[in-house]
């Protein structure tokens, strides 16, 4: 994350651009008292973003109240897939607000029916059912609960959950356990609640030592199993696996060979698979679901974020018998499938289809990736790898001579690019995350890549 003490305005040069407009020092002096007031009343954990006061966001542009405008590479943290404030999304919001039906809990409504029919129609899991929630983390909780309940039907102690270290699934209890890396700051030790992790198969840092060109395969999965065995974890007592088929942090799809090995091991031990597509879903990876890159069909899929590009709606999709196991009252949420969220999700899915944004994500993503990869040619010492699919791309920085992430340089580049009119956020983990709205004009995406290259020239020179 960017340093939260960074409220010192820096002089800027107005960019010569159709899209970027920077007319004040950054952070804008007038925004500073407001940001300070916000920080005074809001928990510290929410202060890690670049100090830009959002006033308007439209399409792939973000504006503050002082005349500055950025090309947005954040999508408000990989959420605004159809673009910010899409007219059809706003129309759906107006329409929903003008009906005399704002909330229903689980009472039947036609709008919820329409959305659920759409979701099961596009689900890669055959014969799917679905249930709606609000936040992505709620979908994670429900998916983990469903997998544990299925496990218990086989053996009372078959409740273990396996996930990838470094992944992210949300902040609630089960989601928090599935995320990150086990460590001393864990507020609940994972093993005591039968939560286990294996490394994510990330080629550039895989223990195979082959470097950025390596694509983890079946052998890498077998090595992970050896780790489980070493810790005497019995797969017969694992109920489910949750992982991102293309994790937000790595933007590196699980390979079909690795996924096939995972699936066959899971089948052998009656372990269910849940792919978390809260971030990678809804066209972000250049396909409707990142699952489609991976070549195996999971039992459950979670979606959120890009499902509405605005208000909170999430979903668990998956095999009928798993979704139907809890009885009425055992799995529900007050706002899940509320008429407003349902209307907006439907509108958003229609925009993705009608504006062919999944194809746009694939095509613009390919252009942008090629352009960003050129940066690695200029800075081979500082860049470990540039990769991604669709508009979910990352530039992994390293300290020269090894693979250790260069968090400081990544933060400097983010801060400099914000001063030049390209909005990114600090990941705090030594990589740049590039995830613009899928509707970004390809020329704007290329311009943003050029700005990032300029920032490397500026920051590497300054840092060395
Ligand atoms: C892959 C993944 N799963 C789950 C979540 C949690 O979603 P939410 O923040 O809506 O709870 C996120 C959020 O970033 C995510 O990226």
CATH number, domain with residue 135: 3.40.640.10
Is there an atom of ligand 1 within 6 Å of 248 CB?
Answer: yes
Judge if 273 and 366 occupy the same domain. Answer: no
Is 424 a domain residue?
yes
Residue 12 exposed, middle or buried by CB count within 10 Å (0-12, 13-18, 19+): middle
Judge if 318 and 371 occupy the same domain. Answer: no
- By the 8 A CB rule, do 245 and 277 touch? yes
Judge if 330 and 455 occupy the same domain. Answer: no
Residue 84 CA to residue 121 CA, distance in Å, equals 26
- Separation of CA 119 and ligand 1 centre (Å): 19
The residue behind tokens 């496990």 is: 151
Cβ-defined contacts of 106-115 (< 8 Å, 24+): 106/332, 106/336, 106/337, 109/337, 109/339, 109/342, 111/339, 111/342, 111/343, 111/346, 112/337, 112/339, 112/342, 114/342, 114/346, 115/337, 115/342, 115/345, 115/346
Best residue among 139, 170, 308 to mutate for probing ligand 1, ranked by most atoms within 8 Å of CB: 170
Judge if 96 and 206 occupy the same domain. Answer: yes
- By the 8 A CB rule, do 256 and 296 touch? yes
Count of structural domains within the chain? 2
Residue 397 CA to residue 415 CA, distance in Å, equals 15
- By the 8 A CB rule, do 311 and 93 touch? yes
Is there an atom of ligand 1 within 6 Å of 276 CB?
Answer: yes
The closest residue, in CA terms, to atom 4 on ligand 1 is 169
Nearest partner of 14 among 27, 3, 1, 25, judged by Cα: 25
The closest residue, in CA terms, to atom 8 on ligand 1 is 136
Is 210 a domain residue?
yes
Q: Which two tokens stand for residue 264?
A: 């066959």
Q: Where does a domain end: 322, 354, 386?
A: 354
* Largest Cα–Cα separation, the chain: 65
pTM of the complete model: 0.96
- Separation of CA 272 and ligand 1 centre (Å): 20
Judge if 134 and 273 occupy the same domain. Answer: yes
Is there an atom of ligand 1 within 6 Å of 170 CB?
Answer: yes
Q: What is the CATH number of the domain that holds 374?
A: 3.90.1150.10
Is there an atom of ligand 1 within 6 Å of 318 CB?
Answer: no
Is there an atom of ligand 1 within 6 Å of 136 CB?
Answer: yes
Q: Where does a domain end: 335, 354, 373?
A: 354
Q: Where does a domain end: 334, 354, 374?
A: 354
The closest residue, in CA terms, to atom 2 on ligand 1 is 169
- By the 8 A CB rule, do 275 and 262 touch? no
Judge if 412 and 298 occupy the same domain. Answer: no
Is 11 a domain residue?
no
For residue 27, is the peptide bond before it cis, meaning its omega torsion is within 30 degrees of 0? yes
Q: Which two tokens stand for residue 417?
A: 């690019």
pLDDT per residue as tens, the chain (464 positions): 555 458 999 999 999 999 999 999 999 999 999 999 999 999 999 999 999 999 999 999 999 999 999 999 999 999 999 999 999 999 999 999 999 999 999 999 999 999 999 999 999 999 999 999 999 999 999 999 999 999 999 999 999 999 999 999 999 999 988 998 888 777 778 888 999 999 999 988 887 777 777 888 999 999 999 999 999 999 999 999 999 999 999 999 999 999 999 999 999 999 999 999 999 999 999 999 999 999 999 999 999 999 999 999 999 999 999 999 999 999 999 999 999 999 999 999 999 999 999 999 999 999 999 999 999 999 999 999 999 999 999 999 999 888 899 999 999 999 999 999 999 998 999 999 999 999 999 999 999 999 999 999 999 976 55
Is there an atom of ligand 1 within 6 Å of 410 CB?
Answer: no
Judge if 228 and 346 occupy the same domain. Answer: yes
CB atoms within 10 A of CB 267: 11
**Residue numbers of the domain that contains 371:** 31-82+357-463
Judge if 181 and 215 occupy the same domain. Answer: yes
Judge if 217 and 362 occupy the same domain. Answer: no
- By the 8 A CB rule, do 239 and 151 touch? yes
Q: Which two tokens stand for residue 93?
A: 């919001």
């Amino acid at each position: 994350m960017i340093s939260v003490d960074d409220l010192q305005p820096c002089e800027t040069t107005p960019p010569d651009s159709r899209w970027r407009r920077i007319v004040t020092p950054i952070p804008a002096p007038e925004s500073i008292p407001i940001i300070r007031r916000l920080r005074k009343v809001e928990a510290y954990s929410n202060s890690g973003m670049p100090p830009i006061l959002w006033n308007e966001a439209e399409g792939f542009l973000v504006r503050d109240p002082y005349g500055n405008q950025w090309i947005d590479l954040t999508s408000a943290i990989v959420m605004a897939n159809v673009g910010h404030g899409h007219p059809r999304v706003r129309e759906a919001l107006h329409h929903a607000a003008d009906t005399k039906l704002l909330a229903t809990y689980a009472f039947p409504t036609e709008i919820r029916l329409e959305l659920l029919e759409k979701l099961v129609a596009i689900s890669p899991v055959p014969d799917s059912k679905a249930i709606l929630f609000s936040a992505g983390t709620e979908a994670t909780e429900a998916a983990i609960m469903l997998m544990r309940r299925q496990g218990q039907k086989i053996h009372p102690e078959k409740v273990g959950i396996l996930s990838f270290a470094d992944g992210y699934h949300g902040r609630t209890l089960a989601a928090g356990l599935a995320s990150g890396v086990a460590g001393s700051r864990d507020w609940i030790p994972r093993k005591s609640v039968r939560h286990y992790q294996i490394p994510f198969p990330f080629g550039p840092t895989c223990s195979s030592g082959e470097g950025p060109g390596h694509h983890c395969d079946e052998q890498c999965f077998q090595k992970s199993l050896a780790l489980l065995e070493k810790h005497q974890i019995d797969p017969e007592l694992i109920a489910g696996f949750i992982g991102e088929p293309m994790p937000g942090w790595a933007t590196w799809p699980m390979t079909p060979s690795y996924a096939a090995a995972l699936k066959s091991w899971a089948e052998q031990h009656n372990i269910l698979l849940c792919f978390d597509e809260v971030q990678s879903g809804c066209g972000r990876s250049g396909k409707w679901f990142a699952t489609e890159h991976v070549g195996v069909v999971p039992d459950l899929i979670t979606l959120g974020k890009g499902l509405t590009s605005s208000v909170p709606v999430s979903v668990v999709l998956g095999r009928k018998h798993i979704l139907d196991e809890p009885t009425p009252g055992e799995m529900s949420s007050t706002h899940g499938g509320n008429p407003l969220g349902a209307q907006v999700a439907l509108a958003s899915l229609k925009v993705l289809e009608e504006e062919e944004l999944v194809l746009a994500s694939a095509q613009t993503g390919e252009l942008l990736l090629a352009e960003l990869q050129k940066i690695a040619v200029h800075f081979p010492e500082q860049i470990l790898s540039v990769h991604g699919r669709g508009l979910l791309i990352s530039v992994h920085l390293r300290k020269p001579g090894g693979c250790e992430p260069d968090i400081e340089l990544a933060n400097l580049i983010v801060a400099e690019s914000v001063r030049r009119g390209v909005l990114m956020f600090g990941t705090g983990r030594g990589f740049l995350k590039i995830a613009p709205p899928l509707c970004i004009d390809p020329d704007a995406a290329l311009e943003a890549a050029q700005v990032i290259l300029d920032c490397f020239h500026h920051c590497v020179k300054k840092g060395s």
